[in-house]
Amino acid sequence: MKVKLLNATPLKIAIKAIRRCYDSCSDNLGEKDLKLLKSIIKNGHTSTIEHIVFTFDIKGISRAALQELARHRIASLSVESTRYTLKKLKNIDIREFKYEDYLVQTNNPVVDRYSRASLDHTISCLKEHSIKNDLAKYSLPESYKTSLIWTINARSLRNFLELRSSSKALWELRGLSIKIIDSLPKEYLILFEDIIKGDE
């Protein structure tokens, strides 16, 4: 799995929104502004941080993880089309084929074996039976890799990180939450430091 931050709204936009609510003056992201931002988050008045929006490029997550990611509905997803990208399986060179290029490995030998068998069936549908992509995709395993561009505001990202960094979350989304935090520039961590500390 790879995560890259493509874009982030400057923090000063959230400060401007917060200061507008209180009709007060900014100190240009100085000590007073940062203290106010921490106070807003601590007190749960986080509507003002919705003005900060992040866009991530996420590659190599499973279709199973994508389903769970889609449950975070206050976000925008542009996902690689399975229907239109199955041609890479149809045109595959078996001599260079590696399952790990196409499937997320769970490290459970039984699950991974069945996932590989399912992918073999999909390739057979495409190559040997000439089944169209929009039908052949129904035979794909949930571990099949996909990629997407994901845009989410800071308030919703806090909710995502609170839920998906939990030990009860799907292991793949726990990994995604770590990579998202790691992709953020240092100045944005103030928005999530209580979550990060709580997860240590």
Which residues are marked as active site?
164
Query: In the chain, count of helices (H) and strands (E)?
Result: 10, 4
Please tell me the total number of residues recorded for the chain in this structure. 200
Q: What is the DSSP letter of 169?
A: S
Distance (Å) of CA 182 to CA 22, 70, 169:
33, 21, 18
Contacts with 191 (C-beta within 8 Å, 6 or more apart), sequence order: 37, 41, 49, 52, 154, 157, 158
